[in-house]
Amino acid sequence: MGETRLLLKHAEVPGIRHYDAYREHDGYKSVEKAFTMTPEQILEEVKTSGLRGRGGAGFPTGMKWSFLAKPEGVPRHLVVNADESEPGTFKDRYLMEFIPHLLIEGMIVSSFCLGANASYIYIRGEYAWIAEILEEAIAEAKANGWLGKDIKGSGFDLEIYVQRGGGAYICGEETALLESLEGKRGNPRIKPPFPAVKGAWGRPTVVNNVESIAAVVPIIMMTGAEYAKIGVGRSTGTKLISACGNINKPGVYEIDMTQTVEEFIFSDEFCGGISNGKRLKACIPGGSSVPILPANLLLTTATGQPRLMNYESLADGGFATGTMMGSGGFIVLDEDQDIVYHTYTLARFYRHESCGQCSPCREGTGWMEKILKRIDEGQGKMSDIDLLWDIQRKIEGNTICPLGDAAAWPVAAAIRHFRDEFEWHVLNPEECLTRNYGLAHYADPLEIKEQA
Ligand SMILES: Cc1cc2nc3c(=O)[nH]c(=O)nc-3n(C[C@H](O)[C@H](O)[C@H](O)COP(=O)(O)O)c2cc1C
Ligand code: SF4
């Protein structure tokens, strides 16, 4: 079964990045339709669609919108999370780079529903050229009467602003994002209060992922009930997957979540199989934070069912034998990949990106990195593996924001499923040094950044 294209339907149309081609291909029709509806009717459609947030946690979007506080005389905001810094995740980039008007259209409908007159796109600093594409598209939308005062005679006013981040992964966490949007250091806030009550500048705010807001366009056009018919169970609609690693066809695919993981990896319509004729060893299916699974557990659930590319099936078995859909950053590892080395590089990333506010995350990520480094380089002891396990347990659930969990889960899953590789590193110190995985053998951007 191939792609089901709701979001990427017109992605390859020449010139679709610009207003004229976009408008010719049904662009801004959902805004016209939304203006014939009440905000309450739009909210009902989004709820009925079953859309779950595409940023990672999968929280129902309609429910989130219904929590938005509406105190008299206080402005409300929609903030689109375009930080996309999770390793392996590059789907929002594709959407914004090639069909920026789809996001703007979704923002107009969503802002109208939420009663927001000033909405923001917070975009990761490294996506500088995409920020320019968005700014150009916003200018085109405004020139054609889709933004500004009294849009198309609806009586609704909206301005959209693009805010560039400074390149910190933590600024993707919604409350850190809001701090950064306000011009402060991106430290996560303690919740409650949640952004729906006290968000940007203390005002009620909805923070949603780029893909979640883009999905509002097809939901309004086809109705929530029709959207909900696509997919399986509580995994409704389509999901963008950014596939990378040891595969023949890396790229961004739009799936309807009925595909098996096996189909997704091996069929020519998607990843096209493992590159260089190698065998599949493991996969991190939802961005670097979600648990890695070895090939056997990845393709089949613990009860022997083919595993599907959706929220429920990927999570089947809990963390003992399952994983998560996460952000849809699908990282495939072939038989030559060293799990200890990869876990170490992830641990380095999380240590580097910890904001340092809470000690389990600040200290724990540093300890995990150090221990993984010595195991990787053949300097570890057997007791280090248990120590590593203990440290990740003490981080999980004990921090202000989920970055702590995100740092702990990859380490836990690597030990759970690949303990023999950790033991191999301890027992074969000489061989570890000759496997070309040492830091000396490759240009490491973090290392370079730290030395500078
Ligand atoms: C460390 C960290 C980084 C995150 N990065 C992103 C991100 O880049 N993009 C995103 O949409 N959500 C990210 N999230 C999740 C957001 O906090 C939030 O749940 C999301 O933007 C909500 O949108 P959604 O409901 O549409 O998924 C991150 C969370 C954490 C803890
Ligand atoms: S868990 Fe880590 S990133 Fe999150 S607030 Fe605590 S120290 Fe900062």
In order of 62, 135, 184, 307, 407, the CA distances from 160 in angstroms are 21, 9, 21, 40, 34
Ligand 1 midpoint to CA 138 (Å): 23
Ligand 1 midpoint to CA 121 (Å): 13
- The answer for residues whose C-beta is within 8 angstroms of residue 295's C-beta and 6 or more apart is 279, 280, 281, 282, 283
Ligand 2 midpoint to CA 403 (Å): 6
Residue nearest atom 18 of ligand 1, based on CA coordinates: 174
Q: Which of 58, 123, 119 is nearest to 97 (CA)?
A: 123
Full set of structural domains in the chain with CATH? 19-229 (3.40.50.11540), 239-334 (3.10.20.600), 339-451 (1.20.1440.230)
- Residue pair 203/72 in contact (Cβ under 8 Å)? The answer is no
Query: pLDDT per position in the chain (452 positions), as tens?
Result: 678 899 999 999 999 999 999 999 999 999 999 999 999 999 999 999 999 999 999 999 999 999 999 999 999 999 999 999 999 999 999 999 999 999 999 999 999 999 999 999 999 999 999 999 999 999 999 999 999 999 999 999 999 999 999 889 999 999 999 999 999 999 999 999 999 999 999 999 999 999 999 999 999 999 999 999 999 999 999 999 999 999 999 999 999 999 999 999 999 999 999 999 999 999 999 999 999 999 999 999 989 999 999 999 999 999 999 999 999 999 999 988 999 999 999 999 999 999 999 999 999 999 999 999 999 999 999 999 999 999 999 999 999 999 999 999 999 999 999 999 999 999 988 888 766 443 333 334 344 344 43
Q: Is the CB of 397 under 6 A from ligand 2?
A: no
Tell me the H-state helices in 223-276.
224-228, 261-266
Q: Which residues line ligand 1 (CB under 6 A)?
A: 53-57, 59, 81, 83-86, 169-170, 172-174, 207-209, 212, 401-403, 406
Q: Is 28 helix (H, G, I), strand (E, B) or coil?
A: coil
> Hey, which of 173, 177, 362 would you mutate to test ligand 2's pocket, going by the most ligand atoms within 8 Å of its Cβ?
362
Ligand 1 midpoint to CA 172 (Å): 5
Ligand 2 midpoint to CA 395 (Å): 10
Tell me the H-state helices in 120-243.
128-143, 174-181, 210-222, 224-228
